[in-house]
């Protein structure tokens, strides 16, 4: 396997992990625009352990995930006191605070960023992504997952059926933060470098789009979103290099990509992968009558 393909697959695996860090809270009705904050906490924690204290990679990366999960747990209580757009702004502010703190710590590289020597590689990153997908799929099939889906569909009805709204959302945000920290720990050790500028506001917006485009109704939505956002821009870039008639894609591929996103969100505001879509797919495979597709809440 070439270095280019290996690097692209590793980036895809990391994007999948980070997408699920946003999906778990989103499935409980929490839109998180602070994914970069949890990624930075996990990345800098794991990077500091391997670089400054020579902790093995297999221990440093999970430690970064635990650190990010702990931070997520602590900020969950004040954040959950907000609602709607104010919650989105609160998570965004959290990411900016984390960036502001880290950029002023000289021991961690400051504005120049953190460089590490330990290298993860595809054999480490890919199994981690598979493990995260399997874990979230299992989680959504548990009683907790049913509670999360109930909150996502209708908080008032979920409360009437005995679901503890606040605790369920705290757990969802904590798990999401830990998964984001895991993605950050792998990210810094895949590229041997991370800085605050590369994980800024646009980073969080892209990750949120992974989930919203893929869909929050099923566990497979973020997987589709991560594949789309990672592979489509790169495919457009490669096409522009190979075909002179498509040279305009070299500078305009993000315009083409952006238009595709807008059109997709217009036609499928609930996301590409929905429960109805999967139920119809299962019914068609069994030979049953397929129900008409519906929108549903994103």
* Digit-coded pLDDT (tens) for 97-138: 999 999 999 999 999 999 999 999 999 999 999 999 999 999
* 16-30, 162-176, 266-280: segment of lowest average pLDDT: 266-280
- Confidence (pLDDT) at 229: 86
- Confidence (pLDDT) at 104: 95
Domain residue ranges in the chain: 3-217
Handedness of CA 101, 104, 110, 115 (dihedral sign): negative
User: The whole model's pTM is what?
Assistant: 0.92
For residue 152, CA distances in Å to 145, 148, 297 come to 10, 6, 8
As a whole number, mean pLDDT of residues 4-11 equals 94
Is residue 290 predicted with pLDDT exceeding 70? no
The answer to whether 49 and 60 are in contact (CB under 8 A) is yes
Is residue 174 predicted with pLDDT exceeding 60? yes
Is residue 255 predicted with pLDDT exceeding 90? no
As a whole number, mean pLDDT of residues 161-176 equals 94
Q: Could you tell me the pLDDT band of residue 79, with boundaries at 50, 70 and 90?
A: very high
Q: What percentage of the chain reaches a pLDDT higher than 90?
A: 64
The answer to whether 15 and 210 are in contact (CB under 8 A) is yes
- Which tokens is 287 given? 């030979």
Is residue 293 predicted with pLDDT exceeding 80? no
The answer to whether 214 and 223 are in contact (CB under 8 A) is yes
- Confidence (pLDDT) at 250: 66
What does the H/E/C string look like for 258-276? HHHHHHHHHHCCCCCCCHH
- Confidence (pLDDT) at 237: 82
Euclidean distance between CA atoms 265 and 269, whole angstroms: 5
Q: Which residue has the higher pLDDT, 201 or 60?
A: 60
Q: What angle do CA 128, 194, 214 make, to 5 degrees?
A: 50
- Confidence (pLDDT) at 285: 82
Is residue 29 predicted with pLDDT exceeding 80? yes
Euclidean distance between CA atoms 89 and 68, whole angstroms: 19
As a whole number, mean pLDDT of residues 64-68 equals 98
For residue 12, CA distances in Å to 29, 102, 110, 165, 225 come to 25, 26, 27, 33, 11
């Amino acid at each position: 396997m070439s270095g280019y393909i290996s690097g692209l697959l590793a980036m895809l695996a990391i994007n999948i992990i980070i997408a699920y860090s946003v999906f778990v809270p989103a499935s409980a009705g929490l839109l998180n625009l602070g994914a970069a904050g949890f990624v930075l906490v996990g990345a800098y924690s794991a990077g500091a352990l391997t670089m400054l204290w020579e902790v093995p990679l297999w221990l440093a990366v999970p430690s970064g995930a635990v650190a990010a999960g702990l931070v997520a747990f602590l900020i969950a209580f004040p954040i959950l006191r907000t609602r709607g757009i104010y919650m989105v702004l609160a998570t965004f502010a959290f990411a900016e605070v984390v960036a502001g703190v880290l950029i002023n710590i000289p021991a961690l590289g400051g504005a120049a960023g953190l460089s590490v020597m330990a290298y993860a590689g595809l054999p480490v990153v890919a199994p981690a992504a598979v493990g995260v997908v399997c874990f979230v799929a299992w989680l959504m099939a548990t009683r907790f997952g049913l509670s999360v889906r109930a909150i996502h569909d209708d908080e008032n009805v979920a409360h009437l059926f005995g679901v503890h709204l606040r605790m369920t959302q705290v757990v969802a945000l904590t798990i999401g933060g830990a998964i984001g920290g895991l993605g950050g720990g792998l990210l810094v050790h895949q590229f041997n470098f991370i800085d605050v500028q590369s994980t800024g506001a646009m980073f969080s917006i892209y990750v949120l789009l992974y989930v919203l485009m893929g869909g929050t109704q099923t566990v497979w939505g973020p997987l589709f979103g991560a594949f789309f956002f990672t592979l489509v821009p790169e495919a457009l870039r490669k096409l522009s290099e190979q075909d002179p008639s498509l040279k305009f894609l070299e500078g305009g591929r993000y315009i083409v990509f952006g238009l595709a996103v807008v059109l997709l969100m217009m036609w499928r505001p609930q996301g590409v992968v929905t429960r109805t879509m999967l139920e119809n797919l299962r019914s068609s495979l069994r030979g049953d009558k397929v129900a008409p597709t519906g929108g549903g809440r994103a």
